[in-house]
Amino acid sequence: MKLFSHVEQMGHEQIVFCCDKESGLKAIIAIHDTTLGPALGGTRLLPYEKEDDAFNDVLRLSRGMTYKAACAGLALGGGKAVIIADPSQKSEAMFRSYGRFVESLNGRYITAEDMNTNVANMDHIRLETRYVTGVSAGLGGSGDPSIMTAKGVLYGIDASVKYRLGKSELRGIKIAVQGIGAVGKHLCKMLHDRGAQLYVTDIDDQKLKQAHSLYNATIVTEAELYALDVDVYAPCARGSVLNSSTIPKLKAKVIAGCANNQLEDEEKHAKILKENKILYAPDYVINAGGLINVANELTGYNLEKVESEIARIANTLDSIYIEADKLGLTTQEAAKRFAEKRIQSVANLKTMSSFKHSAIGNIIK
């Protein structure tokens, strides 16, 4: 693989390879863009088959975090890290070793949970660096962010239903939720409380039975779910669910859910959705509630402030939908423009030099 040309093409600032034989740590930290602030993004732990896969994943994910933070209005940039390991290899030593690498970056990168890493792992990282968020309540953390992600998705569904269907409440709206996990279960409760009619699918029968008894949700198979005559489809399980085989089956007018990387091919499938008059809420905009939550831990957690920042997701989506319609873009393209415009506006700020931070200041003591 041509490392530098790949990094240059994706626009990253810095890539850090972390290796510690004693603890078995093999990690890559990717800092994509720090124009808006230090790079924040979770640490994903996976037994990648090839090192190239880990490298590509961390480049793609960190770039996504730049757009996500920019759209969420946070003073943060985008970064991400991957640890190449099987979850069974996790240990205190591995995370403390990793924490030392994070510390060495002096706050340019702040980490958090992601796939296969949890609050306990963040607590171990916290022993070595303060540049970690999503720690336990005892260390000043705010706990599992999934409920905040669900809230953001609820506001996003509100905004999307209003924009596409002209309805200002969810009572009687038919919504298909795919995946009743950490986020999906909270979302189902919130939607049920708002009077929506739910259809659910999951690979876990227990979760389905619970959703049926608690929220009167109709249980369907994954294949049935795509073809359901519903108003909203909320993907809350896994990525790549919007592809050439599923999109032609969809009857929903709105797609709004928390899953990451919902479009198998960002350009092609966003375009087909637009042609089919299906309003797609870009995933990194609607699922930013969790990020907003952990970001607030950094400045002293204030629930009221978090809630109001999450509520803003609805306004952001609205602006993106209006811009997409005005310029004939897909909502995915409009979201990217929204993020890039904000980053560029800060990048364009006039440099204000001072003695302390100037080249001459470094020479003359």
| Separation between Cα atoms, residue 17 and residue 201, nearest integer Å | 40
Query: Which residue, 183 or 272, is less far from ligand NAD as judged by CB?
Result: 183
Residue 202, interface with ligand NAD (CB under 6 A)? yes
Query: Which residue, 247 or 259, is less far from ligand NAD as judged by CB?
Result: 259
How many residues sit close enough to ligand NAD to count as binding (CB under 6 A)? Answer: 25
Among 91, 240, 260, 319, indicate the residue that binds ligand NAD (CB under 6 A): 260
Query: Which residue, 39 or 237, is less far from ligand NAD as judged by CB?
Result: 237
350 is annotated as an active-site residue: no
Nearest approach in angstroms of CB 261 to ligand NAD is 8
Beta strands at 25-33 and 14-20: parallel, antiparallel or unpaired = antiparallel
Nearest approach in angstroms of CB 259 to ligand NAD is 4
Nearest approach in angstroms of CB 288 to ligand NAD is 8
Among 60, 167, 238, 342, indicate the residue that binds ligand NAD (CB under 6 A): 238
Residue 145, interface with ligand NAD (CB under 6 A)? yes
Nearest approach in angstroms of CB 63 to ligand NAD is 16
184 is in an annotated binding site: yes
179 is in an annotated binding site: yes
Nearest approach in angstroms of CB 263 to ligand NAD is 13
Interface of this chain with ligand NAD, residues 284 to 343, rule: CB under 6 A = 287, 290
Residue 180, interface with ligand NAD (CB under 6 A)? yes
Residue 204, interface with ligand NAD (CB under 6 A)? yes
Nearest approach in angstroms of CB 331 to ligand NAD is 18
Edge-first strand order for the sheet with 174-178 is 218-219, 197-201, 174-178, 232-235, 254-255, 279-280
Residue 182, interface with ligand NAD (CB under 6 A)? yes
Residue 177, interface with ligand NAD (CB under 6 A)? no
Residues whose CB falls within 8 Å of the CB of residue 356, separated by 6 or more in sequence, listed in order: none
User: From the candidates 68, 80, 151, 207, which is the catalytic residue?
Assistant: 80
Q: Is the dihedral of CA 122, 16, 131, 350 positive or negative?
A: negative
Nearest residue by C-beta to ligand NAD?
181
Among 236, 263, 270, 339, indicate the residue that binds ligand NAD (CB under 6 A): 236
Among 34, 121, 133, 146, indicate the residue that binds ligand NAD (CB under 6 A): 146
Q: By CB neighbour count within 10 A (0-12 exposed, 13-18 middle, 19+ buried), where does 259 fall?
A: buried
| Separation between Cα atoms, residue 332 and residue 315, nearest integer Å | 16
| Separation between Cα atoms, residue 225 and residue 206, nearest integer Å | 18
Query: Which residue, 19 or 223, is less far from ligand NAD as judged by CB?
Result: 223
Among 62, 160, 197, 201, indicate the residue that binds ligand NAD (CB under 6 A): 201
Q: Is the dihedral of CA 187, 191, 193, 199 positive or negative?
A: negative
Q: Give bridge partners of residue 111 from the DSSP assignment.
A: 132
Beta strands at 232-235 and 174-178: parallel, antiparallel or unpaired = parallel
| Contact stretch for ligand NAD (CB under 6 A) within 173-181, 304-312, 315-323, 356-364 | 173-181
Residue 133, interface with ligand NAD (CB under 6 A)? no
Residues identified as active-site: 80
Q: Which residues are annotated as a binding site for NAD(+)?
A: 179-184
In the complex, the residues that contact ligand NAD under the rule CB under 6 A are: 145-146, 149, 178-184, 201-204, 207, 222, 236-239, 258-260, 287, 290
